Amino acid sequence: MLISLVYFVVIGILAGWLASAIMGSAKGGLVRYFIIGIIGALIGGFVFRLLGLAAYGLIGELVTATVGAILLILLLRKL
């Protein structure tokens, strides 16, 4: 249980950081990266399911969360 929580937090922070770096807005702290990564994981999972895609394992979850976080950043920039 604790390992799953740590895994969840690490994926969220990495995905938020990657998305911020890719989108050129890499200024922020761990909390900001975590929030972007977690919301991005939800968005990415939703979009991947709509497209009929599936991602497994650490790399798959990281890619899904990062893609979702990029979409989140794009959406926030448009607003």
Q: Sign of the CA dihedral 55, 58, 62, 63?
A: negative
Check if the beta carbon of residue 9 is closer than 8 Å to that of residue 34.
yes
pLDDT in tens, 45-59: 999 999 999 888 889
pLDDT in tens, 8-34: 889 999 999 999 999 987 677 888 999
Environment class of residue 25 by beta-carbon count within 10 Å: exposed (0-12), middle (13-18) or buried (19+)? middle
Domain locations in the chain?
Answer: 8-78
In the predicted model, is pLDDT for residue 1 greater than 90?
no
